[in-house]
Amino acid sequence: MVLQFTQELTDLLTAGLQLEQALHAMENRSSPTLATLAAGSANACAMACPSRPPHAVSPSFGELYCNLVAAGEASGSLTAILDRQGRYLSTMEN
């Protein structure tokens, strides 16, 4: 499910939506699992912020994913990093 979440989020960001808008749009999707993932990560910093307790991070996202999101936000290349992460997850799934 993280793969589909990553792909859809990348598509929305590529289309020009801001991160918060994209996550909000995903919350309103028909897929309850994707909506839950989007709602659980109100913004990418919530997934990756090291000052948050571990239980505050969605268990669906691993440490690598969260660190990549944080790096993408800090560098302004979140869309490219999510695209790469999506391709990586797709390769690992097959």
The alpha carbon torsion through 35, 40, 44, 45 (nearest 10 deg) reads 170
What is the count of structural domains for the chain?
1
Task: Give pLDDT tens digits for 8-43.
Answer: 999 999 999 988 888 888 888 757 777 777 766 545
Cα 65 to Cα 57: distance, rounded to the nearest angstrom: 11
Q: List the domain range (segments joined by +) for residue 81.
A: 2-93
Instruction: Tell how far CA 82 is from the center of its chain.
Output: 7
Q: Specify the DSSP element, H or E, that contains 10.
A: helix 2-14
On whether the CB atoms of residues 58 and 49 are closer than 8 A, the answer is no
The string of pLDDT tens digits covering residues 35-93 is 777 766 545 445 544 444 544 556 677 778 888 888 888 899 999 999 999 999 999 98
CATH number at residue 72: 1.20.81
